[in-house]
Structure 1
Amino acid sequence: MTLTQLFQYISSNPWPAVAFFALMPVLAWLIGELANGSRDVQFWSYVYAVLVYAVSIPGIFAFTLNIYLFLFERQSIWQANIILQFLPIISLALTLMLIKRKIPFALIPGFGKISGLLTLIAALIGLMWFFDRLHLVAWTYVPFSVILIGFVLTLLAIRFAWSKLF
């Protein structure tokens, strides 16, 4: 099964995906209400970790797919699939905002790995977009160490911006 076939299948039967992404913020709110006043922070941090991963993996994929489609494939915003391209990102943002109101992200196991993954993806896409805009066929006069330093600096800048965002 290709991604196109998967997207066509979800587009022809969207209700399971809509229900999943609508349920994630509702679950975050419900878990927050259930955990209110509880002293077992470790248990609730693992419950939140499952919820964060359940919403982050499709959300990050949709975010990356949108960047790819809009920057490299030049897809029009009018042709975007709302359920596959926007709903996961909206669900991700709402769920993370609801979770952040109840528990710091530092207490959620593995959250640093998700933000690190997103930072790496953003840096790689930014670098690929930069190379796409340069239209260079070969790097002849630029040493590889300069390219590597540029990538690391881009990665650090994006990581700094991400830490200021949340």
Structure 2
Amino acid sequence: MTLQDFFNAVSSNPALLAVFLLSIPALAFVVNMWSGATAEEIWRWRFVYATLVYLACIPGIFAFTLNIYLFLFERQSIWQMNLITQVLPIVTMAATLMLIKRKLPFNYIPGFGKLSGFMTLIGAVIGLLWFIDRTRIYAVTYIPFIYIVVGFVGLLLVIRFAWSKLF
């Protein structure tokens, strides 16, 4: 089964994926109601929040990365977007993160720093690949490889700095 086959199968029966993705922010809302008001009560629920963050962010990051790839490299039109597989995971991720952030700061959620680092790495790799694709640097180049590595590390640091300022 290829990735295209998987997306075709999900697109032919989108109800299961839609219910799964819509249940994550609903669960975050319910957990926000049950977790209490004091810091000790909220602290006990941090692993539940971490589970919800990962359930929302893994499909959301994948969908976001897939959209960037499809728009930058495959030149997909925005009119051909599949709302269930390309938009709903990102909306779910944003809604879940907003609901959780109202109750608990992200630095108290176990493993959230690794998730943001992973997103930074994906962004840097896509940025570098897009730069290489646009400049056709892979065809004929007189640039030493060390400059490409330094550019990649610099891009990674810039994206990491921007991400830390964003959140």
| TM-score using structure 1 length | 0.95
Matched, 1:162 2:128: no
Number of residue pairs matched by the alignment: 165
> Would you say the 8 A contact 2:32–2:100 is kept in 1?
yes
- Which residue of the partner structure matches residue 112 of structure 1? 113
- For 1:160 and 1:20, locate their aligned partners in 2 and report how far apart those are by CA, in whole Å: 33
For structure 2, the residue ranges without an aligned partner over 5 or more in a row are none
- For 2:145 and 2:132, locate their aligned partners in 1 and report how far apart those are by CA, in whole Å: 14
User: How far apart are residue 41 of structure 1 and its match?
Assistant: 4.1
- Which residue of the partner structure matches residue 25 of structure 2? 25
- Which residue of the partner structure matches residue 4 of structure 2? 4
**1:108-138 Cα distance to aligned partner (Å, 9 max, x none):** 0100111000000000001100000001303
- For 1:107 and 1:145, locate their aligned partners in 2 and report how far apart those are by CA, in whole Å: 38
- For 2:44 and 2:36, locate their aligned partners in 1 and report how far apart those are by CA, in whole Å: 13
Matches within 5 A, 1:1-166: 1-38=1-38, 39-136=40-137, 137-139=139-141, 141-166=142-167
User: The residue matched to 1:73 in structure 2 has which SS?
Assistant: coil
Report the aligned-residue RMSD: 1.1
* Between 91-100 and 31-40, the greater mean CA deviation after superposition: 31-40
Share of identical aligned residues, percent? Answer: 58
- For 1:43 and 1:101, locate their aligned partners in 2 and report how far apart those are by CA, in whole Å: 16
Amino acid paired to 2:88: L
User: How far apart are residue 25 of structure 1 and its match?
Assistant: 1.0
